[in-house]
């Protein structure tokens, strides 16, 4: 990305609550900041004491001038796919899973252990507030809400399960769990709400679930995809399921990543293509209105050993088009280092990109099947590890 940036800085105390104008009629991003993970020169992670993370709520009604409207001191983790949170379609609630908790060790250090908390935030309150904390499966990671806003699914990595929760107004209730044969990282509904796809990342497979009301069962249908499928999304028209595959057990090695294309309209549904990407794709979103999908590849940035041959100062946004009945890679755009979360605006006209390293929220404008850097950047109070928008 070239040219000067207009930076929008928010000053304050991390973990406090900031409030700008009313949240009524807003469009939101919800961002989970992890402020307890760093890496040394060799790329080895270093953990610090918990208590400094936050969940940040951003108003994007003025898309090129995003504003932080609240920051809640809640735990979040960069360990896991950047989809451990969601906003209900009516923008009434925000839901955030705490995947990992740092626990003190006898040597004075800290160790990340699986957590099981789900935070429920009232977005209609002034200011937004935490209204309840639920217990779900161990290491809740990727989550998804159906378009009706009545059902929440959570992929639990340490439990080998998918938690099923109902949503009625402000009441969120755990109603069941679907066992899986191995760890799962991410989940995505089909637009009609009749099915969901689940990323069995260590098995290199995507599982399908059947959904009837609030009853969720294993469809016993699995798709063999690329190596280490860590994130999964379904296109707005329900035609394709798309996975981003990291390779190398999710560890950076400079090797290419990939996107697997599952044709959900075929009979039976099947894998129809695999597209190459830059190294270590993780963040992923599909346009709620158009035909663009964006995979954020870390691309050797942020956490790689400083002397590795594949070190790169920028992440790569890999652009995919689903227009014309075929998924095609149509380009790439540089973004900040160690991009985790990416999210389209509800109208699909903008893409927001979170750089973990720089604590920046970058704003890109969608132009057909291209992204244009607006050079507008919102400075976040911490390091963005996950992000979702309020897509209706």
What is the CATH classification number for the domain harbouring 384?
A: 2.130.10.10
Q: Is the pLDDT of residue 7 over 70?
A: no
* Mean local confidence (pLDDT), 204-220: 98
Residue 250 pLDDT greater than 80, yes or no: yes
pLDDT > 60? residue 378: yes
Question: Worst-scoring range by mean pLDDT, 188-192, 217-221, 253-257, 388-392?
Answer: 388-392
Q: Give dist(CA 386, CA 85) in Å, integer.
A: 7
Q: Which residues pair with 110 in a beta bridge?
A: 104
Question: What phi and psi values does residue 264 have, to the nearest 5 degrees?
Answer: -80, -15
Q: Is residue 17, in this structure, part of any structural domain at all?
A: yes
pLDDT digits (tens, 9 = 90+) for 106-126: 998 899 999 999 999 999 998
Torsion angle, alpha carbons of 304, 308, 312, 313, to 10 = 60
Residue at 135 is within a domain? yes
Domain-embedded: residue 34:
yes
pLDDT band for position 51 (cuts 50, 70, 90): confident
Residue 1 inside a domain? The answer is no
Q: What is the mean pLDDT of the chain?
A: 92
pLDDT-based confidence at residue 365 (cuts at 50, 70, 90) = very high
Judge whether residue 375 has pLDDT over 90.
yes
For residue 13, being part of any structural domain is answered with yes
Domain count of the chain? 1
- Note down the domain range covering 143: 6-389
> Which pTM was predicted?
0.92
What is 106-120 written as a DSSP string? TTS-EEEEEEEEEEE
Which residues, 6+ apart, have CB-to-CB distance to 9 below 8 Å? 379
For the purposes of burial, counting CB atoms within 10 Å of the CB of 28, is it exposed (0-12), middle (13-18) or buried (19 or more)? buried
Instruction: Say if 136 falls within a structural domain.
Output: yes
In a domain, residue 247? The reply is yes
Q: If DSSP states are collapsed to H, E and C, what string results for 188-227?
A: EECCCCCEEEEEEHHHCEEEEEEEECCEEEEEEEEEECCC
For residue 43, the model assigns a pLDDT of: 79
Closest to 95 measured CA to CA, from 8, 170, 201: 170
Count the neighbouring beta carbons within 10 Å of the beta carbon of residue 120.
Answer: 18
Tens digit of each residue's pLDDT (9 = 90 or more) over 280-317: 999 999 999 989 999 999 999 988 788 899 999 999 99
Is 90 exceeded by the pLDDT of residue 145? yes
Bridge partners of 207, per DSSP, are 198, 222
pLDDT at 288: 95
pLDDT value for 346? 95
């Amino acid at each position: 990305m070239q040219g000067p940036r207009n930076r929008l800085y928010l000053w304050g105390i991390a973990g406090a609550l900031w409030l700008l104008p009313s949240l009524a009629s807003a469009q939101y991003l919800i961002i989970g900041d992890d402020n307890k993970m760093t890496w040394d020169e060799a790329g080895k992670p270093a953990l610090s004491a918990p208590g400094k993370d936050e969940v940040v709520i951003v108003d994007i009604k003025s898309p090129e001038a995003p504003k932080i409207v609240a920051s809640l001191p809640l735990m979040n983790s960069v360990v896991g796919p950047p989809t451990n949170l969601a906003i209900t379609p009516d923008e009434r609630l925000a839901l955030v899973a705490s995947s990992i908790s740092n626990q003190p060790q006898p040597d004075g250090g800290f160790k990340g252990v699986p957590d099981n908390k789900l935070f429920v935030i009232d977005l209609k309150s002034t200011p937004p507030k935490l209204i309840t904390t639920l217990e779900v499966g161990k290491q809740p990671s990727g989550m998804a809400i159906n378009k009706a806003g009545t059902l929440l699914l959570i992929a639990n990595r340490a439990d080998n399960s998918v938690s099923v929760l109902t949503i009625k107004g402000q009441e969120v209730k755990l109603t069941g769990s679907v066992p899986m044969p191995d760890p799962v990282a991410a989940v995505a509904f089909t637009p009609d709400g009749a099915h969901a796809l689940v990323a069995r990342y260590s098995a290199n497979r995507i599982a399908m679930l059947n959904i009837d009301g609030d009853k969720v069962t294993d469809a016993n249908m699995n798709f063999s995809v690329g190596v280490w499928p860590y994130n999964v999304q379904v296109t707005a028209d329900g035609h394709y399921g798309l996975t981003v595959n990291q390779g190398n057990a999710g560890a950076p090695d400079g090797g290419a990543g990939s996107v697997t294309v599952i044709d959900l309209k075929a009979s039976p549904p099947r894998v129809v293509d695999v597209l190459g990407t830059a190294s270590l794709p993780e963040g992923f979103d599909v346009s709620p209105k158009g035909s663009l999908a964006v995979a954020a590849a870390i691309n050797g940035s942020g956490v790689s050993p400083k002397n590795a041959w594949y070190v790169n100062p920028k992440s790569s946004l890999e652009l995919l088009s689903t227009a014309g009945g075929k998924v095609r890679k149509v380009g790439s755009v540089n973004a900040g280092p160690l991009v985790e979360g990416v999210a389209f605006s509800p109208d699909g006209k903008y893409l927001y990109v979170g750089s973990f390293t720089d604590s920046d929220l970058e704003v890109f404008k969608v132009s057909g099947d291209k992204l244009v850097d607006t050079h507008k950047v919102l400075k976040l109070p911490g390091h963005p590890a996950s992000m979702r928008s309020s897509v209706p």
